Structure 1
């Protein structure tokens, strides 16, 4: 079994080795970190080598009107999504080397023509510095020893502060790298690190707030009656309550009751990522991790080349509010009953572990280090991607585009993230071109494949597996708008 602290340490060290561009400002900005790690077990020496192959930071995603039909905008910049998409870049390079007759540290030929499989002893792990947004973050306060054991810390420093109500609506500015602009135009990841009862502003609509999901006035009164006013800010929380998520229930299903305490949320439901302003269409990272445990994290395009889907053997969470029971419910139980999957796909729940090492750019650590002169604490507007590829391993973005680009280059290659759909699609087409026609998988020998949509739909086994998952576990999962996938 993987050592959770060793996994976390490798991820934190990988970030520290990168250039400072895109990193949060210490004591004023916070972010989240996620990574994909590759493990190689050597049978001869009984040794195990673990290395980070993709890393991402980020907390934001764009609103639905900012999505591009050209596939040139990075829709979701949450750390977990950044890390997974960076891993796709890594796998594409590995496959490119394999089909070109070179070497690959990951893949070897399978029995099926044109298909590849993992080399013996190779597996992948996933790390996230905080419980993923959505269902996995709806945690009873009593299940968070990492919060309760934080000695000498005032509770107020461990919860997300309400956003300044004076901030205006989304505005378009000529530069997309300005962090305040990015914060206004994007959807923030808002899962409550802690949610100690407090009074909500009467003018705030809790269904729209992307800041601290504060407990209602009634819950605050309940705490005072239960514990007395002198203990209302204590860390040893006795009144039943939960850590909140800002992710909203998908339309058409159960809604959050918004009742005091543990009655605030519905659990086990699909959620879209939160934010003020226009809605986002991005599903929560919890939901995406649960989906990857059935369909694999390789996606539809790479499934053309793989005999079997790729699954994370382990998911490690850094030091933060955490519940093993809730993580199991969110990532495993919801899909455990799915059956009739095509060959190469299976329900493959990961081992769930937590590290005792906390990310130094977490919100809790940022608030502990914050100085009054630094101004308001806020999520970092930039997202960093690093992956183990030979060309352009680092990609820093803000608001769906490369960090620092000006408005006049939007819509050009200079503005595109290397992780956007268009760039990954072009890398995939390069892989197809590098494969001898006679050595291509049968699904790629058709002559009518042109658009991104065409290639995704031609991955028949993947689409069949997705249909089974959709019908049996996630019937409310929103379908992608086809008009946003017709680029080529």
Structure 2
């Protein structure tokens, strides 16, 4: 049985050990944390070792007009995505060790030529300090004192307007309880934060508030005031073509079980919500198309641990498992692999709720931390700190150069993968990489045929509205030196 607090504490300790660069300012900035934990079970002694192999923080995405056709920008910097991409770096290193010397603690040879599988007893756990943005964060407020919407009433100076079927109060500030420490965060600011972790701030002032609907009789006299139960909300927006959010008061505000894209700051993004991506990984694995060339089976998280936050297991089950549970006819090596879902009682010290709690007068506006941190257990450059899709601290003149690139961007991961290919003896290459003229990132992804077949089954059966990446953003090449090496 997995000890959720042990996993959470391990991840928080790993974060504490990182350098100060990129971390939030205590009491003023907040962020999210996610991590991948390798579990190694000794089959003879039945002992278990847990090791953080990748960790990420972040809450932001870049807008679609800032996406680069060179693959050198990091589009999605939410913690869950950062942690998974850092894990890809770790897996590439372990495959490099396997093909070069057969010394990997993660992989061993599989049945098919050029293919590898996990060592016996090795599995992976995914940790996130907060429920993933999107569907998994649409949680009913059932706890005492936090189940009601903010006040909505017809009083002098406040006008009720109807937008999309919902009521919106035109007010300067949210209602606060006496002696409340809640900062003045309006609905737009919360949405722009771009992640499910906006909800603790809402809860903070919902704790002392009620949604009051003024029911008037036929003669216009005031009737009874009704309290309407509410839900925790997400800033992620429904994808075009699907059912929109009704935006009704309380429980009717959101549609559930639908695909969503993350909000940007003033500009739409093309990044699917973390709930959608985690659901995706329960069928396709988290290894991606490129590493599927080398792996006989998809890699799946055995457990997902969530830190202390608003949480409902049945909502997580709906968002991450149920939506894909019916998918069938997957190619060999892929399966519907639902993880065990558990919650820890330990809260991340830099969560929004903790930041609000420790905020002091004079610190300025509470805001999400602008930087994203990646750490992974690799030999070279384990730490990568980014902001706005590029290395933290680079100037505009550096954009477009290697100096500005995150080690997690598509181009850098492509370089790492091609280095793995060049290090593999030609006679031991997977069949999907032999005898083919592959040049672009798109070519290598499409050549992973089993992965693409699984992708088609998942999307046709569960996620038909999932937007495909613009092909023009995937046609970049690797460096000339690597191309030359691969052609030898």
Judge same fold: TM > 0.5, yes or no: yes
Select 2:185's aligned residue among 161, 165, 173: 161
2:229 match? 240
Select 2:430's aligned residue among 438, 441, 455: 441
Could you tell me how far apart the structure 2 residues matched to 1:467 and 1:155 are? 55
2:445 match? 456
Q: CA deviation at 1:129?
A: 0.2
Counterparts of 1:212-291 in structure 2, within 5 Å, are 220-222=211-213, 239-291=228-280
Residues 142 and 238, structure 1, Cα contact 8 Å, conserved in 2: no
Q: Does 1:193 align with 2:182?
A: no
- Per-residue displacement from partner, 1:249-297 (whole Å, max 9, x unpaired)? 0000000000000000000000000233110000000000000000000
1:37 match? 37
- Per-residue displacement from partner, 1:63-91 (whole Å, max 9, x unpaired)? 00000000000000000000000000000
RMSD (Å) for aligned C-alpha atoms: 2.8
Could you tell me how far apart the structure 2 residues matched to 1:160 and 1:337 are? 44
Could you tell me how far apart the structure 2 residues matched to 1:159 and 1:311 are? 40
2:483 match? none
Could you tell me how far apart the structure 2 residues matched to 1:325 and 1:160 are? 32
2:221 match? none
After superposing the two structures, state which structure 1 stretch, 95-104 or 61-70, moved more.
Answer: 95-104
Residues 76 and 282, structure 1, Cα contact 8 Å, conserved in 2: yes
| Residues 242, 114 of structure 1: alpha-carbon distance in 2 compared, 3 angstrom cutoff | same
- SS across alignment from 1:373: coil
Could you tell me how far apart the structure 2 residues matched to 1:364 and 1:162 are? 16
1:209 match? none
Q: Does 1:58 align with 2:49?
A: no
Could you tell me how far apart the structure 2 residues matched to 1:94 and 1:486 are? 27
After superposing the two structures, state which structure 1 stretch, 124-133 or 97-106, moved more.
Answer: 97-106
Counterparts of 1:307-386 in structure 2, within 5 Å, are 307-386=296-375
TM-score (norm: length of structure 1) = 0.85
After superposing the two structures, state which structure 1 stretch, 273-282 or 346-355, moved more.
Answer: 273-282
Select 2:476's aligned residue among 446, 465, 487: 487
Residues 115 and 306, structure 1, Cα contact 8 Å, conserved in 2: yes
Could you tell me how far apart the structure 2 residues matched to 1:116 and 1:142 are? 47
After superposing the two structures, state which structure 1 stretch, 270-279 or 58-67, moved more.
Answer: 270-279
Structure 2 gaps of 5+ residues are 149-176, 217-224, 478-488
- SS across alignment from 2:5: helix
Q: Does 1:67 align with 2:73?
A: no
Could you tell me how far apart the structure 1 residues matched to 2:109 and 2:145 are? 46
2:12 match? 12
Residues 181 and 359, structure 2, Cα contact 8 Å, conserved in 1: no
Q: Does 1:394 align with 2:383?
A: yes
Could you tell me how far apart the structure 2 residues matched to 1:145 and 1:302 are? 48
1:229 match? none
| Residues 31, 352 of structure 1: alpha-carbon distance in 2 compared, 3 angstrom cutoff | same
Could you tell me how far apart the structure 2 residues matched to 1:192 and 1:435 are? 46
Residues 89 and 413, structure 2, Cα contact 8 Å, conserved in 1: yes
Residues 33 and 79, structure 1, Cα contact 8 Å, conserved in 2: yes
Residues 36 and 124, structure 1, Cα contact 8 Å, conserved in 2: yes
The structure number with the bigger radius of gyration is 2
| Residues 40, 408 of structure 1: alpha-carbon distance in 2 compared, 3 angstrom cutoff | same
1:97 match? 97
| Residues 261, 195 of structure 1: alpha-carbon distance in 2 compared, 3 angstrom cutoff | farther
Report which of the two has the higher share of strand: 2
Could you tell me how far apart the structure 1 residues matched to 2:179 and 2:38 are? 38
Aligned residues: 440
TM-score (norm: length of structure 2) = 0.85
Could you tell me how far apart the structure 2 residues matched to 1:131 and 1:19 are? 26
